[in-house]
Structure 1
Amino acid sequence: MNKIFISHSSFDSKYVEKIIDLLETIGLPSEKIFCSSFEGYGVKLGTDFLSYLKNELNNEILVIFILSNNFYSSTICLCEMGATWVKTNMHIPILIPPFEYSDVKGVIPTIHGMKIDEKERYNSLKDIIEKEFGISPINQSIWERKRDNHLKQIKELIESSPVSSHPLSGQNININDDYYINSNEIIKRQSKIEWPNDYEMQLHYINKQKEAVQNLKEHNPLDIDKNEFKIIREKARIEWKNDYEMQLDFEQRQVESLRRIKEL
């Protein structure tokens, strides 16, 4: 392996930063870490991200997936998942609680995965990194001290983060319950407008939009005041009248931003 690519949601960057610190503690040089959320580890200004990713991914890339509800709510992350699965051979999923192994969907297997607060798994992660990148092992006493300090910081992050509902759980909030009645017709009509002569893309568009409708119906952040969420949802419907994917993306970003404001 010649590089590690960390696939993650930008909303989970505070956890990703801790993983980067740990990789560097193990002895991995910073230039061998690709992570889009931090300057010096990502794509240079002016570079097309998807093109860069397409050119960079190969069998010599180890992919670490930072999995959470935020990850599965991101269209970009799901695109990354598909691309990395096809073009790379080695993958390590790391889950952020309360996200569970049972929540993992798509192509990522969980047999070699770990939770970000599982102490025992970090020794295995260290062994894999040392082996794949030819790194001389760090002094064991130093490693244990740095690992335990890392875990302490991770647990503090988890405990300080608001508990969010799973994107496919909870009760539907009562905002215009009949809003989605004609969604299928709207989606089909819009697919022909977006992709008039491409039936494959029409089908892809329809499936993604229907999935977004289902997620919107069940999106119910329990830690957000219902009136505040109502304002967010109504604005999403005004801004993106015929695009349910964008409505969902807008809602989730606004909800996460509201959570962060409440933490200040």
Structure 2
Amino acid sequence: MDLLDIQTTLREFELERYNIHNLLIKVLRIAKYRLDVKEIIFMSLNKSSSLTNDKYLALYSEIKTIAIKKGLSSNEYKTIFVDVYENYYKNQRTTDWYELTSKSVEKGYVVGLSVSELTDYINQIEKVLETNTIPEGLHSLDLYYENEKKQKLDGIYLNHLGSCKSILNKIRDYLIDYLVNVESEMVINKELDDMDFKNELLILIQQGHEVKAKCSEVGLYGTLYISGADYIAWIEKCKLFIKKHVSDTEIQENFFNIAKGANESGETPFNSMIGILTALQDYDFTPTPVVHTDINKKIDKIFISHSSKDIEYVTALVDLLNNIGIKKSDKHIFCSSLTGYDIPYGENIYEFLKLELNNNNIMVLFVLSHNYYESAPSLNEMGAAWITSKEHNSVLTPNFDFKKITGAIDPTKISFYMNDKDGLNKFRDTIVKTFELDEIDYKIWDRDRKIFTDKVDAIAKTEALNLNTQVKLERVKKLNENKMELHLRFINITDKEIEFKFIDLELGDSSGNKLNMSVDEDLLDEFRLYPRENKIVKWTFDYGSSYNPRRDDSKLSKISFEIYS
């Protein structure tokens, strides 16, 4: 953490008024780095939602380890924690709040929402207020009652809106004041450091002249030579100083090149070295920040990492991105399963993917599903995106369990389900902000979002039937040299009757021989799996390959199928 980090964060606060959750996390990291216990307590309390007694005590214990590390006693820490909770956290959150259950204004009410929840609630209220309109064409009496109802609802939500914004403003001001104080402290320390460096320089220059006087000898032709252990030691001290404190590589190279042949040479190398040291008295010793081009470079392309089996979900998602404002072009979207957005003809697949993921201007969008985690290429993309530290977001298909997120993706990073309206709203805001797009009229967005969620729900309904239907190979029985009998267990955990479009089987024996076949369509036309039915069906198949039914290896068996929705 350096002065530039603090100043950058302060500039970010200028751009954000209420959506300050990410900035709070950033400032919290700064406070933890500095062991600023008071600020850690304040930000941790504001990051937490529904602060129950158990959460309060857990937070108290968690921060106590930091306080002890800083050298505070248990009593000192307790005093600070209580003071922050009562005089800062509660004081900033105490307001006159209209309580919906009691239908009255509760004075001295402490709003317990976290910073992120306050931001979300503000967005919800603003949408409610925007849509709370009086229908046209009402009778005068009906118009009167509708107007009364509208004003009452507006009054309630304006009360909540004002309170939430006031709380966030107070938290924001607290964080800014803290950063300004840290900045001032670091500026003073920097000035002191500069003074120390310049004093060290003056000492080196003075020592140089003393060493020259001590180590100089006149040659046969009256030429002055400087050499000796003290001269070499002085040169090495100068090199160490420059290497440690001077980030300008040109200055470093110049000094080091001169120093190489300085011993047992004349005055010229010595004078050059003294000249560089003298010039450094006006040098700014602030460390040059490392510029991360992959973060600072503007993102202008989305790489959709998905399983090809989820093509229907992905097609709908690309349509939604187009509606948000992402252009219909392979320059702005890469999706290997969709024509026009896929790998160009003639390109090597793996080399192309490698180049895409090495670009600094892409955002990776993971479409997580059961199929994704069964796809080796998808998992490879996930690992590559993680290694190259790409900006990424995760969207979950409706039937995928959030708890099953594994691998390189951080499950604590915000993800959302495809049919989650609030999640889609935040996703749209992220895309609009990241790609600097024009805002969409909310009515148009509501319509586009509904079309998308309707599509997703329809796809998910069919997928759920497949997920809730199981077909397992129980036994392979050889009947003769050409025929075998398969014992297949069918399980239907739904309340619906199931009909199969197809069932494909891949069998393998212990010698590595494989056999691929499909269930005859005539069998499937007559076959039904009734609600909550669990049964074994025996079907006879011909086989003629080198596969040996008696040596069937169940671990090598694969069954794929699809059912009618």
TM-score (norm 1): 0.68
The CA distance in 1 between the partners of 2:328 and 2:389, in whole Å, is: 20
Tell me if structure 1 keeps the 8 A contact 2:399–2:464.
no
CA displacement at 1:21 relative to structure 2: 0.4
Equivalent in the alignment of 1:91? 392
Equivalent in the alignment of 1:13? 311
Provide Cα deviations, 1:129-152, integer angstroms capped at 9, x if missing partner.
111111011111111111112111
Give the 3 Å change call, closer, same or farther, for CA 139–163 of structure 1 in structure 2: same
Equivalent in the alignment of 1:124? 426
Higher relative contact order (CA 8 A, sep 6+): 1
Establish whether residue 64 from structure 1 lines up as the match of residue 365 from structure 2.
yes
CA displacement at 1:59 relative to structure 2: 3.3
Equivalent in the alignment of 2:514? 239
Equivalent in the alignment of 1:79? 380
Equivalent in the alignment of 1:187? none
SS in 2 for 1:114: strand
SS in 2 for 1:94: strand
Within-5 A mapping of 1:1-264: 1-31=299-329, 32-57=332-357, 58-110=359-411, 111-165=413-467, 174-175=474-475, 222=491, 232-234=505-507, 238-239=513-514, 247=556, 251=558, 255=560, 258-259=561-562, 262-263=563-564
For 1:76, the aligned partner's letter is P
CA displacement at 1:30 relative to structure 2: 1.9
For 1:34, the aligned partner's letter is F
Following superposition, which runs of at least 4 residues in structure 1 exceed 2 angstroms of deviation?
A: 160-166, 170-176, 220-225, 235-241
Identity among equivalent pairs (%) = 30
For 1:27, the aligned partner's letter is G
Give the 3 Å change call, closer, same or farther, for CA 73–175 of structure 1 in structure 2: farther
SS in 1 for 2:380: helix
CA displacement at 1:156 relative to structure 2: 1.2
The CA distance in 2 between the partners of 1:118 and 1:53, in whole Å, is: 30
The CA distance in 1 between the partners of 2:341 and 2:490, in whole Å, is: 32
CA displacement at 1:173 relative to structure 2: 5.0
Tell me if structure 1 keeps the 8 A contact 2:335–2:342.
yes
The CA distance in 2 between the partners of 1:148 and 1:221, in whole Å, is: 36
Give the 3 Å change call, closer, same or farther, for CA 66–175 of structure 1 in structure 2: farther
CA displacement at 1:247 relative to structure 2: 4.9
For 1:3, the aligned partner's letter is K
Give the 3 Å change call, closer, same or farther, for CA 67–222 of structure 1 in structure 2: farther
**RMSD of aligned alpha carbons:** 3.2
CA displacement at 1:17 relative to structure 2: 0.4
For 1:137, the aligned partner's letter is E
For 2:344, the aligned partner's letter is K
Tell me if structure 2 keeps the 8 A contact 1:7–1:64.
yes
Provide Cα deviations, 1:52-88, integer angstroms capped at 9, x if missing partner.
1111223321111111111111111111111111124
Name structure 1 gaps, 5 residues minimum.
Answer: 177-219
Tell me if structure 1 keeps the 8 A contact 2:369–2:397.
yes
Tell me if structure 1 keeps the 8 A contact 2:303–2:333.
yes
Provide Cα deviations, 1:139-188, integer angstroms capped at 9, x if missing partner.
1111111111211111111112243459xxx9975347xxxxxxxxxxxx
TM-score (norm 2): 0.33
Name structure 2 gaps, 5 residues minimum.
Answer: 1-298, 477-488, 493-497, 516-546, 548-552
SS in 1 for 2:353: helix
Count of matched residue positions in the alignment of Structure 1 and Structure 2: 205
Give the 3 Å change call, closer, same or farther, for CA 151–75 of structure 1 in structure 2: same
The CA distance in 1 between the partners of 2:354 and 2:422, in whole Å, is: 34
SS in 1 for 2:507: helix
SS in 1 for 2:513: helix
SS in 2 for 1:6: strand
Determine which structure has more spread, i.e. the larger CA radius of gyration: 2
Moved more, 30-39 or 85-94: 85-94
Give the 3 Å change call, closer, same or farther, for CA 238–232 of structure 1 in structure 2: farther
Give the 3 Å change call, closer, same or farther, for CA 235–60 of structure 1 in structure 2: same
CA displacement at 1:48 relative to structure 2: 1.3
CA displacement at 1:6 relative to structure 2: 0.4
SS in 2 for 1:43: coil
The CA distance in 2 between the partners of 1:98 and 1:128, in whole Å, is: 24
